[in-house]
Amino acid sequence: MSLPKDFLWGFATASYQVEGAVDKDGRGPSTWDAFCAQPGKVADGSDGSVACDSYNRTKEDIDLLKSVGAKCYRFSISWSRIIPLGGRNDPVNQKGIDHYVKFTDDLIEAGIEPFITLFHWDLPLGLYERYGGILSKEEFPLDYENYARILFKAIPKCKHWITFNEPWCSSILGYNTGLHAPGHTSDRSRSPVGDSARDCWIAGHNLLLAHGRAVKAYREEFKPTQGGEIGITLNGDATFPWDPEDPEDVEAANRKIEFAISWFADPIYHGDYPASMRKQLGDRLPSWTPEEIALVQGSNDFYGMNHYTANYVRHKKGVTPPPEDFVGNLDTGFVSKSGDVIGPETQSAWLRPCPRGFRDLLVWLSRRYGGPKIYVTENGTSVKGENDMPVGRIVEDDFRVRYFDGYVRAMAEACAQDGVDVRGYMGWSLLDNFEWAEGYETRFGVTYVDYANDQKRYPKKSARAMKPLFDSLIKQD
């Protein structure tokens, strides 16, 4: 028994990936609606217009959570449902607020603790069209703060708020590679707009400012009476040096984490960007004013951790990084110099299981940031070829069962043996869903969703395996 008795475990989803009902009850369009409408942006040409139909099936989703024993559920709110045009002077949609208030109430009544993510990538299209969305330092943080304040006031029963999900993805995939909405990139064959060398760093800076403003508002105006907590969720892979005997590979493995995680975590915990980023990026990385540092530093009640995989990292010798480089002038792979392989293949080219890396990264984060309270807000895997299997095989997802077992036990070891303060774990995902640019071809759910037959849900073996796993690890009264 190595996890605290009040440890919370459950599952996570995101609004655009599961809700559907994009035209219902006054919801406005988002940047992802517009992005999906562009040919070639999504692997199977699909979109989130129906997805898992979760907007219309909240009771079904809650019953599913109860049936597998989940103690918590992380979901995100669609900004476009709350303020269809997005801005602080735009009309508020009461029907959208009412939906999430009832959903939160119903979760709590069912004994399931809600974790609410305010922004999981689906920006109101109105803000993007009005002033460029996240790239506007003058407008975006103010509009986001207003949106957050509306929800803090409307849903006082929520005790766990997450400002942003994976700002790295919003910044890099949205404004460097162009693989996610709004699709900005310097590659003119893929986008008519975008500067990959600069826009992503501006976006990241503005997301941190918006985060800081929302946290300040919550702490000053709502936390004293509501008693909740607020933080940001960051994503990052574990790293191992390609050649552990080469000091430059060792350094590069650390630098890879800094460019992914410390880009956002260092300003929050230490008051500035990592020196490795400043060294490579120079004035392309925005500078902090004293007022901005005061706003952002210390703005986490907890650290939200999304984690899936690990990489071997090799430094690039004598190579000047191109202006669009965002990883830290290095190469990543799944095979080391000695031929060791990180883990078996999955459906996702970027993901291979490596539980040891999870434990290592938990320890790395704990040491660098002074032992913060951590919630693992996403962790999971796709299964190679799963979408092409018959349903009977899909629900017998032993590969995913092994993944969760290995990762959860590695997390428990980090708590018991390394002193890491982990308070909760949310598997990704409760449901197979719209997997962004990969469409519906890749499944991450512990529940099979039959998209062709009215989105019927069939829990997989992995959904049933979580409760006995956590029962064996959580201390009893």
Residue 477: the pLDDT is 77
Whether 283 is in a domain gets the answer: yes
What is the pTM assigned to this prediction?
Answer: 0.98
Whether 83 is in a domain gets the answer: yes
Take residue 105 and report the two structure tokens written for it.
Answer: 């109430």
Whether 1 is in a domain gets the answer: no
Q: How far is CA 449 from the centre of its chain?
A: 21
Separation of alpha carbons 164 and 113, rounded Å = 19
**DSSP class of residue 261?**
I
CATH of the domain at 134: 3.20.20.80
Is 171 within 8 Å of 201 (Cβ atoms)? yes
The boundaries of the domain holding residue 337 are 8-471
> Which one, of 410, 407, 387, lies nearest residue 397 by Cα?
387
The single residue listed with the structure tokens 């040919």 is: 39
Active site residues: 166, 378
pLDDT tens sequence across 76-100: 999 999 999 999 999 999 999 999 9
Whether 148 is in a domain gets the answer: yes
Take residue 46 and report the two structure tokens written for it.
Answer: 């699909």
Residue 65: the pLDDT is 98
Residue 221: the pLDDT is 98
Whether 347 is in a domain gets the answer: yes
Low-confidence ranges of the chain (pLDDT < 50): none
> Which one, of 349, 463, 459, lies nearest residue 404 by Cα?
463
Whether 477 is in a domain gets the answer: no
Whether 415 is in a domain gets the answer: yes
The single residue listed with the structure tokens 């774990």 is: 425
Take residue 288 and report the two structure tokens written for it.
Answer: 């902090």
Sequence letter at residue 136: S
Strand partners, 258: none
When divided into structural domains, the chain yields a total of 1
Whether 2 is in a domain gets the answer: no
Q: Of all helices (H) and strands (E), which one includes residue 231?
A: strand 229-235
Separation of alpha carbons 85 and 154, rounded Å = 19
Is 267 within 8 Å of 296 (Cβ atoms)? yes
Q: Of all helices (H) and strands (E), which one includes residue 114?
A: strand 113-119
DSSP string, 149-166: HHHHHH-TT--EEEEEE-
